[in-house]
Amino acid sequence: MKNPPSLNGLRTFETAARTGSFVRAAKELGVSSAAVSIQVKRLEDHLGKTLFHRHGNKLRLTEVGRVIYSSSSEAFNRIFRTTQQVMSGPVAPTLTVSALPSICDRWLLNRLVRFKAETDYSIELRAEEDPVDFQENHIDMRVTYDSSLYRSMEKVTLYADQSIVVCSPEFWETWGDAEGTLHNVPQSAFIHSDWGTMLATEASWQAWFARAGIAKPEFLHSGLIFNRTSDAIMAAEAGAGIALVSEKLVRETINAGHLVCPTGPVLEMSFDYVAVYSKEPQSRRPIVRLATFLQSF
């Protein structure tokens, strides 16, 4: 494998890209503009790619340059923040928690805020889809639906869930019926979830009508279709239609009066929501503490 580029070269490139000039970069770094030019040229030679389009004294990043700048800028900013924290006093342990976006938005965030208030841990929360690479992305814990993608990891069940019918109070006033059959709801107002082929276990309206014992309307995927439950919930809150979503993710919204659950039945979800983390013994205590805390809700 080719040796990584020099840190000095990356720092020089990042400064030149951020300031837009070899002269300004040289002033910030305390070197000559010729030295900056040499460092950038060595980095380009090492990568075998052109990083800047040069127009006189003006610099414009190439496509490759933009990619390298994005990563290097983030890395140097993180190093700067870390050193500032170290210099300012004791550093609190940081837990990196990765979770499905809908769980982050609708369930996890508030609980992590409470956990942080009760502990001295710092929390980095990442909203991302499955699967994730724990080692490459330095993840301590993953909160997700179904643990089948993480069979080698430690698993803690957080909760079982069920799908319920929700809509805004105003929507039900307009389109609801006393029997709760949904026969007044236009086909275009049914909100669907499609989680894709990796997790094809989302609740469907077809399954709901079958459970309710009601002849289903002649539709399959008319209406609004979302690949994230949080977006389906937002659409229902906005009065755009009626959705079939996770009860846990909308319970607080229902309690606040922004959504109603006007009719049954409920559909049990196929898998549990879980927290997964490494089985390695090092640094497990804060992770287990967090998992136990999340189980209490």
Nearest-angstrom CA–CA distance, 196 and 227: 7
The pair of structure tokens assigned to 291 is 């998992």
Query: Six-digit token pair at 200?
Result: 């094809």
Residues pairing with 54 in the sheet: 59
| Rounded Cα–Cα distance for residues 207 and 16 (Å) | 58
Q: pLDDT tens, 234-293?
A: 999 999 999 999 999 999 999 999 999 999 999 999 899 999 999 876 567 889 999 999
Handedness of CA 135, 137, 139, 142 (dihedral sign): negative
AA identity, residue 286: P
Give me the residue label for tokens 């006033």. Answer: 173
Please determine, for residue 221, whether its predicted confidence score (pLDDT) is greater than 80. no
Q: First CA to last CA across the chain, in angstroms? A: 48
Residue 161: C-alpha distances to residues 158, 171, 173, 259 (Å): 10, 25, 27, 18
CA distance 31 to 208: 69
Give the pLDDT confidence score for residue 2 in this predicted structure. 65
Residue type, 8: N
Tell which residue, 6, 31, 124, 12, has the closest CA to residue 73: 12
Q: Which residues have a Cβ under 8 Å from the Cβ of 95 and sit 6 or more positions away?
A: 121, 122, 123, 124, 140, 141, 286, 287, 290
Three-state DSSP class for 96? strand
Cα 158 from Cα 297, distance rounded (Å): 8
d(CA 258, CA 27): 56
Half-sphere exposure of 296 (CA within 13 A, CB side): 10
Cα-flanking dihedrals φ and ψ of residue 69, to 5°? Answer: -65, -45
Q: What pTM was estimated for this model as a whole? A: 0.67
Average pLDDT over residues 29-42: 94
Looking at residue 89, its pLDDT comes to 63
| Local structure of residue 49 (DSSP, 8 states) | S
Q: Which fold has domain 7-88?
A: Arc Repressor Mutant, subunit A (1.10.10)
Instruction: Quick: pLDDT tens for 269-279.
Output: 989 999 999 98
Per-residue pLDDT tens for 48-103? 999 999 887 788 999 999 999 999 998 898 888 878 767 776 556 789 999 999 99
Is a pLDDT exceeding 90 seen at residue 215? no
Region 162-268: CATH code: 3.40.190.10
Ranking 168-177, 180-189, 218-227 by mean pLDDT, the lowest is 218-227
Asked if residue 14 lies in contact with residue 73, where contact means CB atoms within 8 angstroms, the answer is yes
pLDDT in tens, 145-161: 999 999 999 999 999 99
Mean predicted confidence (pLDDT) in 2-18: 90
**For the residues 39-51, what does the mean pLDDT come to?**
94
Domain ranges in the chain with CATH number 1.10.10.10: 7-88
Q: Are 233 and 250 in contact (CB under 8 A)?
A: yes
| Span 98-140, pLDDT tens digits | 999 999 999 999 999 999 999 888 899 999 999 999 988 889 9
Closest to 156 (Cα-Cα) out of 294, 269, 276, 297: 276
Residue 197: predicted pLDDT = 60
Stretch(es) of the chain classified as CATH 3.40.190.10: 94-160+272-295, 162-268
pLDDT for 55 equals: 80
- Give the residue from 5, 41, 9, 111 showing the smallest Cα distance to 52: 41
The predicted structure's pLDDT at residue 135: 87
CATH of domain 94-160+272-295: 3.40.190.10
pLDDT value, residue 1: 44
C-alpha span between 293 and 97 (Å, rounded)? 14
